[in-house]
Amino acid sequence: MTVSIINIGDELLIGQVVNTNASTMSRLLTAAGMDVHKTMVVGDERQAIWDAVDEAMHESDAVLVTGGLGPTKDDITKKLLCEYFGSELVESSVALDNVKRIFESRGYELTPVNRAQALVPKCCEVLNNDLGTAPCMWFPGKTVLVSLPGVPFEMEWLMRNRVIPKLQETFHTEVITTKNILVQGIGESFLSDLIEPWELALPANIKLAYLPVAGMVKLRLTVHGNYDPSILKGLYDFAGQYIVGEDCETLDELVHKTLIERCKTLATAESCTGGNIARLLTAQAGASAYFKGGIIAYSNEVKESALGVKHSTLQAHGAVSEETVREMVEGVRERLGADYAIATTGIAGPTGGTPEKPVGTVWVAVCSKDETVTQLMHYGDRRQQTIDRTTNQAYSMLMKLICQKH
Amino acid sequence: MTVSIINIGDELLIGQVVNTNASTMSRLLTAAGMDVHKTMVVGDERQAIWDAVDEAMHESDAVLVTGGLGPTKDDITKKLLCEYFGSELVESSVALDNVKRIFESRGYELTPVNRAQALVPKCCEVLNNDLGTAPCMWFPGKTVLVSLPGVPFEMEWLMRNRVIPKLQETFHTEVITTKNILVQGIGESFLSDLIEPWELALPANIKLAYLPVAGMVKLRLTVHGNYDPSILKGLYDFAGQYIVGEDCETLDELVHKTLIERCKTLATAESCTGGNIARLLTAQAGASAYFKGGIIAYSNEVKESALGVKHSTLQAHGAVSEETVREMVEGVRERLGADYAIATTGIAGPTGGTPEKPVGTVWVAVCSKDETVTQLMHYGDRRQQTIDRTTNQAYSMLMKLICQKH
């Protein structure tokens, strides 16, 4: 079955907000075995929305529309869909109960503007939006149309819990299994050469995708029908030394799961990553089981006072050096009393580079009670990329230390 | 004049890659006074591309197409456009010189596959791509079509240096100004009620959009033609107490700019936000001018040892309390020697709540040498949302302290 996606919003059309909704929806639909035919963005403008809806209704089995459902005046989707389907707005008790529940839980009074959110076209079915006041509306028919709020977390929750299950039920889609393998320390094209014999021998029901992200490559197997885990043996034979883990989307998720499983604790000392390593871990529920804390040692004074890096080390070797990163990682592990530690120090740029240490020079270290491992990296001059790659490098080194694979 | 954008690529359509090209292009076009009518994503599939191009050619003055220009087999845009415009492929000396220059500069030998990149439809004009081997092709006509490579940095460079100047020259475009006002501490619907008289009185050439993000609302004015700054007076009369700043996309950007302008320094002590407050600031180039560092005090031991929170305070009031957050914020400011400090402590959930302090209970504090301000917040049980809202709350409180607006 095919799906078209329409994301509505001036903020998307003028580029003020990156349209992550389209990629989130596409990813979830693809993983559920549905083909995304096209995605479109249109502004909060009646004729453009009408045309996009009308076009999509004629080319796919289902049309998913996000945005334009809020209580403010620029949101016009609901009235337009009501007219498109020749229906009339009625108050939905399901939607009203939901609006009331949410306002009560927040201790706010229900205003007429908010009560109006419970008005929906008579011909649609309301799919309950547990996380917000905007209703999710399912318009049945030969082509199904579903209208969702544009707020990303509400949209994602509704997709996972309401829309995709109902689409699967309505359209009887095939079972698809996906399997992720996280690879780090080798570029996409070199990895592709290395595992080519294995890739060429994959059975026809398995599709392999290379997903490079910030210095890591996620290999994703998409399996239509039966999945035999022994298929992975060949992959390990060719590229085992670069494989960091399986069944996670990201390396931070892998570190999180591993530390919880092994009942070990972690501390971080971040300079150039500025807290990014810690925040990705602590964004996951349950991080307090292993994460003791971290020091963001941005200035040299803080490296000395909070981590115990020696003044003489900074003087002799500089903040971006093996000696400094070693004292940082060992200092934070001891001071915060953790089993493992991570440290980073580098020049993220765009300024601050020298001929000897150009922008993109980064030292990463991990340690346990018994062992410290350091690594020098050379990234380019793109600041966010350097932060993201350093972060993944650190997680990967930690995983190898924990699993004694280095 | 109106523009339609078509981004081609299976990786976009299945959600593997977030389509940042659409937002970058839209932002640049809007800033140059052009109206983006619609953006579309289609896969590497002939019929879908053809239909999208044909549709766009009939509804806008210019059509910008990205992707499908690489040397690999799945890239089919060039041949398709050649056929669409009834032209034939010829070798362009401009494009060939460019390919040769780039291969020479990298020390690679020119292969036939790469030489073929210099083949372009006879009817188009090649706009030189200084950063890559894929040509940028301008097809003149009543509706102009421009084909750009999908590599983000090549596309952006071409847009700024080749495509937009030529579009402005070809179509005589109107000036559009956008103005952002960041509002915090009031929900979208309440804000809408509060400023309704002002909104209804806006002149016809000004469009207002509400963009809620993580506890903040960004108000965006889009002005066609002349902009009179005094229009904002009414907004300040109604909602001045909630306005944190102007002319930034985010509160972290506002804090970053303000601290640099005022030559003041900052330190952070984060518990429930886990480094998020620091990493958003340090993701911006130049943060080392003001950011001394931070302590991510996730465990109680770290709150004591690294921040100097008294054991008796934690015993008597708990980690999530006004007393603790006050000692955290004052401790980190003093220990790291900064002008200002931020601290957060809370229960991000989903577990860890109690009847007295349910999940979502958060204390936020900011301080200067002379003054400490604390605030209790009650967020819901969504971890990432609590982290994001706490982060914006902290930035907003800091801005008010710096500007003495509280």
Query: pLDDT digit string (tens) for A334-379?
Result: 999 999 999 999 999 888 889 999 999 999 999 999 999 999 999 9
Average pLDDT over chain B, rounded to an integer: 92
B302 and A293 within 8 Å at the Cβ level: the answer is yes
Positions of chain A with pLDDT under 50 = none
Which residues in chain B are contacts of A253 at CB distance < 8 A? none
Which residues from A are below 8 Å from B192, CB to CB?
71-73, 113
List CB contacts (< 8 A) between B394 and chain A.
Answer: none
Q: What is the pLDDT of residue A393?
A: 97
Taking the C-alpha atoms of residue B185 and residue B191, their distance in angstroms, rounded to an integer, is: 10
- For residue A369, the tally of other CB atoms under 10 A from its CB is 10
Q: What is the residue-level pLDDT of chain B in tens, covering all 406 positions?
A: 999 999 998 888 888 788 999 999 998 998 888 989 999 999 888 999 999 999 999 999 999 999 987 665 556 899 999 999 999 999 999 999 998 998 887 777 787 777 888 999 999 999 999 888 889 999 999 999 999 999 888 999 999 999 999 999 999 877 778 899 999 999 888 999 999 999 999 998 898 988 888 889 999 898 887 788 899 999 999 999 999 999 998 999 999 999 999 999 999 999 999 999 999 999 999 999 999 999 999 999 999 999 999 999 999 999 999 999 999 999 999 999 999 999 999 999 888 889 999 999 999 999 999 999 999 999 988 899 999 999 999 999 999 999 986 5
Q: Are A143 and A79 in contact (CB under 8 A)?
A: no
Reported as a single tens digit per residue, the pLDDT across B191-212 is 999 999 999 999 988 989 888 8
CB A366 within 8 A of CB A401: yes
3-state secondary structure A129-180: CCCCCCCEEEECCCCEEEEECCCHHHHHHHHHHHHHHHHHHHHCCCCEEEEE
Cβ–Cβ of A18/B17 closer than 8 Å?
A: no
CB-closest option in A15, A209, A275 to B296: A275
CB contact under 8 A, B193 and A55: no
Choose among A230, A262, A234, A247: nearest CA to A182.
Answer: A247
Residue with tokens 């980073």: A344
Contact: B27, A15; criterion CB under 8 Å: yes
Please answer whether residues A49 and A42 qualify as being in contact, where contact means their C-beta atoms are separated by less than 8 angstroms: yes
Contact A168, A230 (CB under 8 A): no
Q: What is the pLDDT of residue A33?
A: 83
> pTM to 2 decimals?
0.77
Q: Do A299 and B285 touch (CB under 8 A)?
A: no
What residue in B sits closest to A34 (Cα-Cα)? B14
Q: Which residue of B has its CA nearest to A28?
A: B15
Query: At A109, phi and psi to the nearest 5?
Result: -90, 145
